[in-house]
Structure 1
Amino acid sequence: MLNNLIRKIKANDSYKIIAEFSFLQFFFWSTWAIYGAYLVYYLTDLGYSNMRIGTLMSIRTFMGLIGPPIVGYLCDRLESRKIVFLISMFLMAVFVTPLTFYGDFMLAISIGVVGFLWEPQQSVLDSWILETSAHTAHNYGFMRAWGSIGFAIIVTVFGQIIERFGWRIHFLSYGVVVFIVILIALSIKDKSYSGLNQKDDNSIKNSQKESEAKKLNLEAAKETPAEVNEKNILRLFKNPDYIFILLITLLIFIPNQMLFVYLAPIIKSVGGNSTDLGYTLFFNALSEAPIFFVAKYFLEKYKTNSLLLFSAFFYLIRFIIAALASSPVYFLFFGMLQSLSFGVFLVTVRYYVKLVAPAALKTTAQSIAMMSAFGAAGIIGSLLGGYLIDNFGMSVMFKVGIVLASAAVLILALVVFRDNKGLENRA
């Protein structure tokens, strides 16, 4: 059976590309399982105070706010996602692998650099997949599922590596996994801008058939400012559909980031420990995989606004579960609902942005959308969550999160109702 699958992949170029991107997602997210999942744990072992750890996490989040539009814009300007991806991965390996040798200053620099590069890397890779072909776009969920599986496996394995071999081996292993990521990425051709280039080539050929040399020069002169205008980032913020998705993303991810930044103390407050945190993160990541595998089918069957409403509703349910939790067991159910909340949301938002963003600004649009979720919402969520916990307690933080999530559900419900009403009137 395995041999038949391998022959099928070799015979069909589309299946080969999907297999390559699946491996790339697996090892790409494995790097974050090594670094991102255990960074706070490492800082705690160094004896850093909560305030100091919070400051360093704010640096990472702030740099993650700056990085996406810059890196995304570079991709669109250079018209190469692969080159930007490879350079970024190499730089992250350079700054993370020797982490245990750093003093306080270099540690802060390293966290800031990784924050700047990591957030846009997700969008660069996802845009590379989405824009390679219609076939890869429809199978994006399948490939992203392997990223969740990679994270779930590696986050569990490296928890044991820390206990047995220590932090030095842990972070040196990060460099090895990044090396694998780079090797896989080098083997994949970057065809993600070929559609845009083909469109430009066809326009030139048609102009040559219709015009004399002098007329062609005049036409080219007219097209130059138009091409520049196509890559004007301000076009995104004049698009009401794009502004809408940024608003919904903020309403959902501010409370989501509040929960995840303070997940360890929240679990500890109900009698949990680091083992319970590990199990929660394991189920959180693993539960995403099934929904990513079937993403192709629900994207074809349901409208994006309906899918956004579905995911927002399950985000709300997760916040309620966390608020009502009286033992660590509740957070196992919290983790399992990641698929119906984040899994559906990520695939839908990626596809939504692909549909509404201008062709010349696809990566920029994807990067800013994720910047809204993990950058802006991350800063607001971490600061607001810390303030509410310190001054009013966790129960008030949960109430604020539930109110924001409820607002997202209500807005999306009204949009879906309006869309359905419009269809009835046209019928």
Structure 2
Amino acid sequence: MPYWRLSGYYFFYFATLGVLVPYWGLYLQSVGFTPVDIGNLIAILMFSRIVAPMVWGWIADHRESRMAVVRLASFLTIASFSGAFFGSSFWWLAAVMLLFSFFWHASLPLLEVFVMRHTASRPGAYGRVRLWGSIGFIVAVTALGPVIDARGPWWVLPALLTMMLGIGSFSLTLPESEMRGSVEHAGPFRQALLRPEVFAFLLACLLMQISHGPYYTFYSIYLEGYGYSKTLIGLLWAFAVLCEIGVFLVMQRLLVRVALRAVLIASFFLAAVRWLLIGHYPESLAVLMLAQTLHAATFGSFHATAMQLVHRFFTGKHQHRGQAIYGSLSFGIGGAVGSFYSGHTWVTLGPTVTFNIAAASAGLAFLVALLLIRQDRS
């Protein structure tokens, strides 16, 4: 497996996310958009994350030259995002965001299949590649903040373009021969999708991402309201991702000793605990640090285990669409629903109740996994 080339790809892919998530809204605000406009534009990113992986997964499952699909998506991302330098009207940026996110969301699920094929015999080895994405996120988020403070939000544009060029460059280094893989017949995709344990797994993942809505949407605003400085808030975000990296490093040894199902169930349970801690003890920095430590479970062990299960559930020609539907349902639909409900309950019911709802959603994921996902037999 071309470890360093794949690690470089992950680094730049998630470094792009590390620029986009914290700073894209600041750029939109700087060019005069209202909060409603900004919300509508960012919703486009969520929408494309629901649709794009399924479209590109179907294309990849019907082609032998899958790396060509990755490269095409990577360079169309660069070309379409370049439009952001040539206009800043609402409809112009809406078109740019729709196009670049459609292509950007396409390539990662295809690479995930490739990595899982090479690491499936070593449970947890996936995390040693994926951790470079977390490192990329931290580097981008910490490096760009001072630049924006000193020179303004316009620098988000060249930063994003640079990260996307990194994605494209590393896609050129990955060999097509190692991406071809197996295309054997695996039965109808619908049949694989509707197996009870697969349906239960996808439902639990959907509920897990719904539970993250208040955290990703309002965590910084929430802590600022309790008097925490922006510097400290940023450090709490970074600390959580460092904990995520830690769990990626130990997953290979952990999954040799502990069943996938057990790790997944524990991740759901700890997510419920995390949201309760954040919702009820915001005044305590020690409790908030403990809650951020649990990011190791709510993203790290959860995602690493989910990737193993997707690879196990969807075989042969269905692997790319399996990865795509996992991403579309959990991070796409789950993320969109989580942001939507938390936006409404935050104002009407308050932060504590909103995080209680998040904990309930993670608790439902725990029950679904506990009762409906079968015990590992491997």
Tell me whether the two structures share a fold, i.e. TM-score over 0.5.
yes
Q: Is the 8 A contact 2:237 2:292 kept in 1?
A: yes
Q: How far apart are the structure 2 equivalents of 1:370 and 1:311?
A: 18
Greater Cα offset, 91-100 or 345-354 = 91-100
Count of residue pairs the alignment pairs up: 376
What does residue range 111-130 of structure 1 map to in structure 2 within 5 Å? Answer: 111-130=97-116
1:58 aligns with 2:8: no
Deviates more, 1:33-42 or 1:371-380: 33-42
2:357 matched to which residue of 1? Answer: 400
Amino acid at match of 2:201: I
Look up the SS of the partner of 1:271 in the other structure.
coil
Cα offset for 1:66?
1.0
Question: Which amino acid counterpart does residue 399 of structure 1 have in structure 2?
Answer: N
Q: Deviations over 1:359-379 (max 9, x none)?
A: 111011011111111111122
Deviation for aligned residue 1:166: 2.7
1:65–1:259 distance in 2 versus 1, CA, 3 Å: same
1:196 is paired with a residue whose SS is coil
Is 1:288 aligned to 2:238, yes or no? no
**Could you report, residue by residue, the CA deviation over 1:242-294 in whole angstroms, capped at 9, with x for unpaired residues?**
21111101121101123212223222332235434422332232221111122
Alignment of 1:254-269 (within 5 A): 254-269=210-225
For the Cα contact (< 8 Å) 2:123–2:251, is it kept in 1? no
Would you say the 8 A contact 2:60–2:66 is kept in 1?
Answer: yes
Structure 2 match to 1:99: 84
- Superposition RMSD in Å: 2.6
Q: Is the 8 A contact 2:82 2:161 kept in 1?
A: yes
Would the aligned equivalents of 1:272 and 1:327 in 2 still touch at CA under 8 Å? no
Letter in 1 for 2:298: S
Give the Cα–Cα distance (whole angstroms) in 2 for the partners of residues 97 and 337 of structure 1: 38
Work out the CA distance in 1 between the residues paired with 2:38 and 2:93. Answer: 11
Take 2:8 and 2:258, find their aligned partners in 1: how far apart are those partners? Answer: 28
Structure-1 separation of matches of 2:75 and 2:251: 31
The corresponding residue for 1:207 is none
Question: Structure 1 residue 132: deviation in Å?
Answer: 4.2
1:384 to 327, 333, 341: 341
Counterpart selection for 2:193 from 203, 215, 237: 237
Q: Aligned partner of 1:367: which letter?
A: A
2:163 is aligned with 1:177 = yes
Counterpart of 1:84 (choices 64, 69, 81) is 69
Q: Which has the higher contact order (CA 8 A, sep 6+)?
A: 2
Unaligned runs of 5+ in 1: 1-13, 201-226, 423-427
Q: Tell me, yes or no, if the aligned pair for 2:20 and 2:160 is still in contact at 8 Å.
A: yes
Q: Which runs of 5+ in 2 are unaligned?
A: none
Match of 1:412 among 351, 369, 378: 369
Letter in 1 for 2:140: I
Matched, 1:338 2:295: yes
**2:220 & 2:3 partners in 1: Cα distance?**
36
Is 1:62–1:375's contact at 8 Å kept on the other side of the alignment?
yes
List aligned pairs for 1:9-408, cutoff 5 A. 14=1, 17-99=2-84, 101-132=87-118, 134=120, 139-196=125-182, 227=185, 230=186, 232-327=188-283, 329=285, 330-408=287-365
Question: How far 1:410 sits from its partner (Å)?
Answer: 2.9
Structure 1 pair 155–318 and aligned structure 2 pair: CA distance change class (3 A): same
Identity among equivalent positions (%) equals 23
Name the CA shift for 1:124/1:323 in 2 (closer, same or farther; >3 Å): same
Out of 43-52 and 398-407, give the one that drifted further.
43-52
CA distance in 1 between partners of 2:100 and 2:231 (Å): 26
Structure 1 pair 231/357, CA: closer, same or farther in 2 (3 Å)? same
Question: CA–CA distance in 2 between the matches of 1:231 and 1:118?
Answer: 29
Which structure dedicates a bigger proportion of its chain to helix? Answer: 1
TM-score by length of structure 2 reads 0.90
Equivalent residue letter for 1:33: G
Q: Residue 343 and residue 191 in structure 1: after superposition, are their counterparts in 2 closer, same or farther (change >3 A)?
A: farther
- Give CA deviations for 1:59-78 in whole Å, capped at 9, x if unaligned: 22122111111111111112
Using the alignment, how far apart are the partners of 1:328 and 1:103 within structure 2? 43
Q: What is the one-letter code of the residue matched to 2:256?
A: E
TM-score (norm: length of structure 1): 0.80
SS of the residue 1:171 aligns to = helix
Conservation of the 8 A alpha-carbon contact between 1:119 and 1:371: no
The answer to whether the 8 A contact 1:312-1:409 is kept is yes
Distance 2:36 2:336 in 1: 15
Q: 1:98 to 1:385 in 2, by over 3 A?
A: same
Change (3 A) 1:86 1:320: same
User: What residue identity is the alignment partner of 1:269?
Assistant: G
What is the CA-CA distance between 1:310 and the residue it aligns to? 1.4
Kept in 1, the 8 Å contact 2:202–2:326? The answer is yes
